[in-house]
Amino acid sequence: MGVVLTRDVMEKFKLELIAGEEGIGRTIVTSDISRPGLEMAGYFTHYPANRVQLLGKTELSFFEMLPANSKLERMRLLCSQDTPAIIISRDLEVPEELIQASNEEHVPVFKTHMTTTKFSSRLTNYLEGRLAPMTAAHGVLVDVYGIGVLIIGKSGVGKSETALELVKKGHRLVADDCVEIRQESENLLIGSPPPLLEHLLEIRGIGIIDIMTLFGASAVRPYKRITLIIELEIWDPEKVYDRLGLEEEKMKIIDTELTKLTIPVRPGRNVSVIIEVAAMNYRLKKMGVNAAEEFSRRLDEVISSNDVLDD
């Protein structure tokens, strides 16, 4: 899981720092946003202190109605030691009691010009992306006809060379050697390269090459949803490989199961063309066109008709 500091949010959304500067290094641990309406009324029994607190027109107008002797106490309770940040929307005036409490507890207070709902939506999306569960996979991620294909296999099997051939055919490289994978939502895996390896491809005998410099900006992309996994392995004459495609193998990454194909590699096989066809066939299956099932249906019809003739 990634780490997000309140400083990151401030820089991302260009927030104005009002008070509590010493706390801008606090860590945000959840993508949930809290609008503390009940807390403004004095109910802190189930206060979600570890969330970013967002105060809009409703909360601040109610706060102004409170007795003067209650305002500072409410803001001190709001500024707990676990609170990562408090953000005021619509460029509304920040109460003096909040400024005093935030400076005392070192809770940063920011201000944004955006409306409460719009900012809450944008901040939630940002935090969900940054705080999503993460893992890393040894392989190559390529965008083939819009399908994110993760190519895996043992070292030296030809993953990078296959990716290079796909790039030459007009497809786009996302990551080579190490693919960082984030699960941004249910059944949604996003792959991207580590910053150190962005746009780079390693070819044995040549070394490191920069794909964007060689083939242009259209040959790379910064991230891609992973929908298909293809494992390359050296051809094993004693192994039985799937020849019909009726049985679909799955591979689990984090909490998501993806379709996995195993392609045997040996001299004379054009692996890049096979991967192109695999990506197109995967897309057809998602559209309801399954050649393997159609062949099986035709075969059953032929067998049935022969049985009838024999009778």
pTM for the model: 0.74
CATH number (domain holding residue 60): 3.40.1390.20
Match 């500072």 to its residue by tokens: 72
* Total domain count, the chain: 2
Q: According to the model, what pLDDT value does residue 311 have?
A: 55
Clarify whether residues 65 and 200 are in a common domain: no
Give the separation between CA 158 and CA 141, rounded to whole angstroms: 13
Clarify whether residues 268 and 142 are in a common domain: yes
pLDDT at 203 over 70: yes
Question: Binding site for Mg(2+): which residues?
Answer: 160, 202
Q: Is residue 308, in this structure, part of any structural domain at all? A: no
Query: What stretches of the chain show up as alpha helix (H) in DSSP?
Result: 6-13, 37-40, 57-64, 68-78, 96-105, 116-130, 159-168, 211-215, 271-286, 291-310
Clarify whether residues 269 and 182 are in a common domain: yes
Tell me which amino acid residue 7 is: R
- 57, 113, 118, 138: the catalytic one is 138
- Could you list the residue range(s) of the whole structural domain that residue 148 is in? 134-295
With residue 182 as reference, give the H or E element that holds it. Answer: strand 178-185
Is the Cβ–Cβ distance between 223 and 199 less than 8 Å?
Answer: no
Active site residue 307: no
> Whose CA is closest to 122, among 24, 33, 238?
33
- 14, 239, 243, 252: the catalytic one is 243
Paired tokens of 100: 């005093």
Active site residue 177: yes
- What percent of the chain lies above the pLDDT cut of 90? 75
Clarify whether residues 242 and 279 are in a common domain: yes
Read off the pLDDT of residues 55-111 as tens digits, 9 standing for 90 and up.
999 999 999 999 988 999 999 999 999 999 999 999 999 999 999 999 999 999 999
- 51, 71, 130, 159: the catalytic one is 159
In sequence order, the 6+-apart residues with CB closer than 8 A to the CB of 89 are: 54, 55, 56, 57, 112, 114, 115, 116, 119
- 76, 177, 260, 285: the catalytic one is 177
Active site residue 138: yes
State mean pLDDT over 157-161. 92
Is the Cβ–Cβ distance between 71 and 97 less than 8 Å?
Answer: yes
Active site residue 243: yes
Clarify whether residues 34 and 171 are in a common domain: no
Compute φ and ψ for 34, nearest 5 degrees: -115, 135
Task: Give exposure, 258-280, as e/b (b: 16+ Cβ within 10 Å).
Answer: bbbbebbbeeeeebbebbbebbe
